[in-house]
Chains A and B, each alone.
Chain A
Amino acid sequence: MITEHRARAVWIRGADAKLVVAIYVARTGRAQFHAGLYHRDHGAASILHFAWDRELCNDDPGESEGRDYGLIALSLDEDDAQTLCALCRQVARRHSVTSRFRFVEWRPRFDLVTAEIIPPAIDERHGLTCATFVLTMLRSAALGKLLALDQWPVPTPDDTDDRWQSRWRGCSTEPAIVR
């Protein structure tokens, strides 16, 4: 559980451990958040996050200075955590500029050797967001069932998220994005 809302870094259960994977959540606007994967396997910690179109970053947590963020540690055993950390390192090395930022998802996974997305995107409308990137990583490490996707609320037309997506679509120079 996140215990403090405005702290620059909210360290929660497991995040100071030598081996940990956590969901990274940063506030980027009044009602807008950015997500990624914090990973550390007995070495330096990194935050792997899909920052924008064709921009996958694996940042030092220190680079998030000045940004409010929290970490939600995943309750994985050592084996699952080390598998996911290895996959984070591999995807970070191989996938920095390939993924498209799109709101239409198709539940793919990364092939962790070639960095191919499997199955490939159906067309230009399909891609990932910062949040679906995290889900794709968990699915790639065979941990997808940590999340009950079918219980997620259905988007409501003209809610905050819908308006943000509409604004993004409006400023995109990429091919038209539709739901």
Chain B
Amino acid sequence: MVPTSLDALLEMLYAASSHSDRSHIAPVLDRLLAYLDHWRTFSPGRVDALFERLDPSRLVRAVGQTLLASTRLACDRSVARHRFLSRFLDDLRIRGTPEATITHLQEGLET
């Protein structure tokens, strides 16, 4: 799968997340994973740029947690990822996600 540009990927993720039909999510998650697969090798800065630009409040939780679950190697532990994880968890609290769910996700995604 040819990686999507960052701008196009962001638009896809936001558009799918704002759609009431959850069937729009699966194809963009595959696009997200293809983007990570490609740029983590050739230009890790583009992965950091994704973390920096993504706004968790405009995403369904599945997008944020798939991104974080897919970037748990030591080489992925960038400041940008850490900041995104913090924003992601803060947003879950704002949405009223049960604290037990947040704690569970935090434990799974921090390591």
* Contact surface of A with B, Cβ cutoff 8 Å: 18-19, 41-43, 78-80, 82-83, 85-87, 89-90, 109, 111-114, 116, 118, 139-145
Contacts and interface: CB of A to CB of B under 8 A. Distances in A.
Contact of B62 (A82, A113, A143): A82
A139 B73 CA distance: 14
B60 interface: yes
A18 B23 contact: yes
Contacts of B70: 87, 90, 111-113
Nearest to A140: B69
A41 B107 CA distance: 26
Interface residues of B, number: 26
A145 B104 contact: yes
29 contacts: A41-B25, A80-B65, A82-B22, A82-B26, A82-B29, A82-B60, A82-B62, A82-B66, A83-B29, A83-B62, A83-B69, A86-B26, A86-B29, A86-B62, A90-B33, A112-B33, A112-B70, A113-B33, A113-B36, A113-B37, A114-B40, A114-B73, A140-B69, A141-B69, A142-B65, A142-B107, A142-B109, A143-B108, A145-B104
Contacts of A87: 66, 69-70
Interface of B: 22-23, 25-26, 29-30, 33, 36-37, 40, 60-62, 65-66, 68-73, 104-105, 107-109
Contact of B69 (A18, A41, A112, A116): A112
A82 B73 CA distance: 21
Contacts of A41: 23, 25-26
Given A112-B66, A113-B71, 15 more contacts: A43-B26, A80-B62, A82-B22, A82-B26, A83-B29, A83-B62, A86-B33, A87-B69, A89-B30, A109-B72, A111-B70, A141-B69, A142-B69, A142-B107, A144-B108
A51 to B, nearest CB: 24
Contacts of A109: 72
A141 B65 CA distance: 8
Nearest to B1: A93
Given A85-B26, A87-B66, A89-B30, A113 B108 contact: no
